[in-house]
Structure 1
Amino acid sequence: MLWLPALCSTSGARAISVCDASALAIERALLEPIAAAEHLTAALVADPWLCRWAAAVEPDSGTVHAIATQIAETLVVRLANSAPSPLAWTRTDEQAATDFAAQAASIHAAAVAVLDSDRPAEHSPAYLHAMLFAPAIWVHASGDYLAESEGVDWRLSRLVARLAWFAGLAHDFDHALTRAKLDAMKELAYGASHEINNPLANISGRAQSLLRDERDPRRRRLLASIDAQALRAHEMISDLMLFARPPLLEKVSAKLDEVVYQAISDLQVIATERAITLSVDALPEPAVALFDPLQMLIAIKAVVQNAIDAIGNDGAVTISLRREGTNVVIRVADTGPGISDTVRRHLFDPFFSGREAGRGLGFGLSKCWRIVTLHGGNVKVERTSPAGSVFALRFPATGGEP
């Protein structure tokens, strides 16, 4: 007899019992993540108790299939984070199993009776409603509901614990890898700023000095190019120093939409040259947050410039602002070619080239990531496909007036 701890106060109980078939379905869902929704859907259709537990976790879902799809994505986390233990197994007698089977059978029969004829049970809102709210009629029924299947009592609980451990290990590894990257970039930045900036300053100074007295147009172009490339290299070292010695943020309560419009204005010329439309879908009222306006402008311009580079020519970039709970979210959607899995893993790494996906080279997105995280927010790719990508910058909202 498997007890799933209630994860929501609306469940009305501390735990819900499910049959062994449901326990085995959960096990298969954990072992086969790709088919998890399919396994859970079949179990939810057949087991009223599992259905009621799942509906308490995802109360806004309208069908069994929708519940299964949502829970499948976070099944390990939901079970592993339950208190006091992820899963508990208790033994039951034959009469208790029969009683539970009878009650489940009556609930299931009531649900089948109202099933829409034109759609299967997993896609029927009426079927789900009956499974959740149909009263149980105690009738005698035979069956092995909650009867013990060999191995279920220890396999499932150990599997959940093991998968949760692997998930935690992967999270810790990613965190340690990110920290190691930052530490390595700090060492590089300290050395580069001293060993490279001095020669660059010398090259730039001499080029400017020669440029003042040069009259030949061709030689002036060559000297100007030398000076420009030296300055470009200096700017790259400055960007690298952003990771080694982040700027001291001067946060103020201000309107994020004003910074977004400024970023659009600064990049409008480039977008127009490439026949790219820049548009803003802003909130009716100002989106107020606590941030450094100068640094935030750099971050937003970086992600919009990345979207322009992804498109190349002829397309659209849409920047939207939304309030989501206690956060303000800036989404930048482009009509570019999307991002491959290989590029996506390194998208915020400095110097990583995403040219094969239409993305730029250098510090643009890595600067954005650094600035946003310094503000206590996060930036990620929410969606990508051959039709375009969506980046989301999320910040805590102040909720007050600037």
Structure 2
Amino acid sequence: MTDLRTGVRDDFAEVFDREPDGVWSSPGRANLIGEHTDYNEGFVLPFAINRRTVAALGLREDRTIRVGSTFADELVEVDLDALSPDALQGWSAYPLGVAWALGEFGADLAAVPGFDLLLDSNVPVGAGLSSSAAIEGATLLALNDVWRLGLDRQTLARVGQRAENIAVGAPTGIMDQSASLLGQEDAAVFLDCRTLVSEVVPLGLEAAGLEILVMDTGVTHAHATGGYKERRASCEAGAAALGVESLRDVSVDDLPRAREILDDVTFRRVRHVVTENQRVLDTVRTLRERGPRAIGELLDASHVSMRDDFEISVPELDLAVETAQANGAIGARMTGGGFGGSAIALVPTDALSRVLVALDGAFAEHGFGQPDLFTVRASEGARRES
């Protein structure tokens, strides 16, 4: 983090020929359990990871916004008065989108100055670790400070979701932004996506001798297109057919009736969400009562549900999960929106090296590109760095 903070400050000075007013950061996230439940007003259990996006920002004396990053060559410039979802595209839609969305939540954009912003990150892009929410969180926290808006973090999470839904065009729920903004060390964020009430749930991984291994398959995905939108539409169709506001209102006991009413594909989509909600509740209870070594079967069942019922896994993710399970992991599952990205495994520290070697060998044997393997810790959420 020291290198990122220093580097982004130095790069800002080089690009904009002045010092920034401050540096802020926000983490990516991994989801312990609760996939595709957030936009169905259900339950999720993500945690912030110790991979972060940093943002150096300096206010201007005019209405111009200039946004740059270390991962794109161009410097994007837009007038604050012309800021609208239709005017945004590419990677800059994330930071510029949250600036626009703050106006939707009460910020008087006619009364604030423009700004220069430079971003850097060590959150892998396209890996299912929400590099987008990390960008949004860092930018939101910075603007909330320098524009003196006084918004709380739960509201900032809603701003980030609004930006991603409207400015970016990705129909995501509020889980990613909540984890990035509300995370705490060695804890997950238990979030009710209907009420937006959140609760910190201690994980106790270090005390239990456990590591969380991220297995980034290198298969990239994009939420603004393709299967993600289709899955959301299926969920909405299922809820409408069952006569409920959202799938949050469907319980496991309702599934026999759902099978009679729905076509097979829609039923399986619904069954995943309904059972995944129950798995989140069971995981929170198990963590509290028995600790992290007892949640492996729930993680495994979540992956099977995503693979078979929601059909969002890919061969590389299945191989990562199965190899980790066969070589000592307590539990493993894909994490994120699916169609690529990463899986996570809960691995005893003394089994980690065996799992790593087995994964490299398995991917080579199947002719897949080598996965990027690294452990993560549950980390603090967005913060001002300097």
What's the TM-score, normalizing by structure 2?
A: 0.24
User: RCO (CA 8 Å, sep 6+): is it higher in 1 or 2?
Assistant: 2
Bigger-Rg structure (1/2): 1
